[in-house]
Amino acid sequence: MPKIQIPTPLRQYTGKQPAVDVTAATIGEALSDLVARHPDLRRHLYTDEGKLRAFVNVYLNDEDVRYLQKEATAVADGDSISIVPSIAGGRN
């Protein structure tokens, strides 16, 4: 089963689990399975319109899915999916 790595700030919504196994053939299915298992995650990952929030980066192993097939990107057993909120800023 693919595994989704959960960033520190979202673990309170997964019963403190740092990673969640999902049943999925695509990134979209993996995220859907994740929020089905842990519904409180939904609003932190998705806007009210159902789109992935802009600051939520999703990586399949070491590739940003935006540059693959986005939510249609295929996943397989043993794949590591990472949810990575952006880290940015600046002095003004």
Partner 1 sequence: MLKIDPNNYASLRQHGEETYPHECCGVLLGQMDEHGTRTVTSLARAGNTRTDSAHNRYNIDPKELIRIQREGRERGEDIIGFYHSHPDHPAQWSQTDFAEAHWFSCSYVITSVQKGKAVLTNSFELTGTDEIDKMLVIETLQVV
The contact pattern for partner 1, residues 31-60, with x = CB under 8 A and - = no contact, is: ------------xx----------x-x-x-
16 binds partner 1 (CB under 8 A): no
Candidate segments 6-14, 26-34, 70-78, binder of partner 1 by CB under 8 A: 6-14
* C-alpha dist (Å) from residue 28 to 33, 90, 91: 9, 32, 36
Report d(CA 30, CA 61) in Å as an integer: 14
Report d(CA 39, CA 37) in Å as an integer: 6
Q: Which of 72, 74, 76, 84 binds partner 1 (CB under 8 A)?
A: 84
